Amino acid sequence: MSAPLQRTPRDLIATGVVSAVSLLAVVGVWATAPIRSAELTPAAEEVSVDEQLLEVPAGLVKSFTLDSSTLPGQHRPLVAGGLLISNDGHNVFAHDPAGEEVWRYERDREICGIGTAWQAVTIAYRNNAGCGDAVSITASSGEYKSTRSAPAPDEVVMTTSNDRVGIANEERVELWRSDLVRTVEYGDVPAPQEADQQPHADCTITSALTRTELLAVTEQCPDGTWLRLQDTTPEDARKPEITQNIQLEDPASRLVAIGQSDVAVHTGSQILAINGEGETTQRLISPKLDVAGFYSPATADLPNHMSWFEGNRLYLFDPAGLKVTQVFMDAIGTGIVVGDKLLYPVENGISVTDPISGVQEKILPVQRGAHTGEVSLALAGGTIVEKRGEQLVGLVQAP
């Protein structure tokens, strides 16, 4: 029979030391956990935005103005589940189409980027390991959906589609699925688990766009400038599956639109439509694009077109082949579609235009005060939202 436990002074001291160490470990984990510095205030009840703008208003009046910090690569108002998303650089707020706050997520870390997909809002935060601390929140309820935390570059832009969200910069691209599990990484991966999984780690990525099962990147490499088309869901997320390697002549080449299998690339003096077989199907002369480093284009998906605002012109692309179908010289940003009409911002208001013929039917006057420069549009339910620098302005049917 073993000897009974003794409550000697030595035993008590040892027990106390073990307890203290355990308590310190628990406190340390709690103190450094990212979730400790976050506070989520969900919606009082789940929000369903049923109202849609089906007809072009006869006139517009301002409904609300919200402040919202502009994040790298973010050109348009962010909308998820019919709710408008704003931020102040640390905290994120969801608003209904009337501009009223529905839920908020507060955090003492700096936001790197915000993406919207799957009727959810995904926020990437900066910590001491870069911009890989991400949380996904269901738009309609303001409740946690998914989280992830992994080392990432310090400066990134969000790369999004309807079914992917990720981060990108000159070093690498990552894409995540709806539960924020990484499906692909490409580029210069620090401390790779296995050698030779990244085929072009010595290249500098200059642009990246994704849609459904297609990820496209342009990059400058020791042997020239390249467009790479690859699968968004390779067998191994750490090992890219490239379907096309297309060499480009101009180092200034950047992606400006992407479809299911096709891409549009601005090559410095032309816009090229390139299909999934790597064939160029259209060449359109275009003014020089003044870019340096990683380029995040001002794009917007429309029901029957892809669009890109180049800084002075708005381009429409046929989604089936990414050929340019219209160019609007008076645009100051990307637009929306209401009914069968294209609405895009111009200096004195919003142009109402037939997207097929390109004929402008009228201009809805909008007073923008002292704001000059780029304006972009989005729809939140029945409200047209303009992004004017660091302000979001709601516009509704004039009484």
- Contact yes or no for 192/208 (Cβ under 8 A): no
Q: Among 116, 173, 174, 125, which Cα is nearest to 147's?
A: 125
Residues comprising the chain, all counted:
399
pLDDT digits (tens, 9 = 90+) for 362-376: 999 999 999 999 999
pLDDT at residue number 182: 96
- β-strands 383-388, 391-397 pairing: antiparallel
Of 384, 387, 388, 385, nearest in space to 371 by CA: 388
- CA-based nearest residue to 215, from 242, 246, 179, 247: 242
> Would you state the structure tokens that stand for residue 359, as one six-digit string?
């004929």
> What's the first-to-final CA gap in the chain, in angstroms?
92
- pLDDT at residue 36 in the model: 52
Q: Could you identify the residue written with the tokens 């205030």?
A: 41
Residue 138: pLDDT over 70? yes
Write phi, then psi, for 64 (nearest 5 degrees): -160, 165
What is each CA distance from 58 to 52, 61, 211, in whole angstroms? Answer: 16, 10, 35
Share of the chain above pLDDT 90, in %: 85
pLDDT tens, position by position, 155-201: 999 999 988 999 999 999 999 999 999 999 999 988 666 778 899 99
Are 252 and 267 contacting, i.e. CB atoms less than 8 angstroms apart?
A: yes
CA dihedral 56→60→63→67, nearest 10 degrees, is 90
Condensed to tens digits (0 to 9), the pLDDT of residues 86-101 reads 999 999 999 999 999 9
Cα(51)–Cα(266) distance, integer angstroms: 38
Contact 246, 311 (CB under 8 A): no
Query: What residues does 327 pair with on adjacent strands?
Result: 315
**CATH class, range 35-397:** mainly beta
Mean pLDDT in residue range 238-261: 96
Residue 353's pLDDT is 98
Q: Is the pLDDT of residue 5 over 70?
A: no
Tally helices (H) and strands (E) across the chain.
Answer: 1, 33
Q: How many CB atoms lie within 10 A of CB 277?
A: 12
CB 131, CB 174: distance < 8 Å = no
The pLDDT-based confidence of 31 (bands split at 50, 70, 90) is very low
Task: Give mean pLDDT, residues 313-337.
Answer: 97
Q: What is the mean pLDDT of the chain?
A: 91
Q: What is the pLDDT of residue 397?
A: 94
Residue type, 352: V
Q: How far apart are CA 140 and CA 294, in angstroms?
A: 33
Q: Output the six-digit token pair for 176.
A: 């995540």
- Average pLDDT of the residues in 276-290: 94
Q: Is the pTM of this model over 0.85?
A: yes
Q: What are phi and psi of 124, to 5 degrees?
A: -100, 125
Give me the amino acid identity at 264.
Answer: A
Is the pLDDT at 323 greater than 70? The verdict is yes
Checking if the pLDDT of 250 tops 90, the result is yes
Strands across the sheet containing 324-328:
298-301, 306-309, 314-317, 324-328
Nearest of 234, 271, 269, 265 to residue 247 by alpha carbon: 265
Q: Is the pLDDT score of 76 beyond 50?
A: yes
Other beta carbons less than 10 A from residue 312's beta carbon: 10
Lowest model confidence (mean pLDDT) among 45-54, 209-218, 224-233, 270-279:
45-54
Q: Would you state the structure tokens that stand for residue 59, as one six-digit string? A: 């006139």
> pLDDT category, 20, cuts 50, 70, 90?
low
Q: What is the pLDDT of residue 394?
A: 98
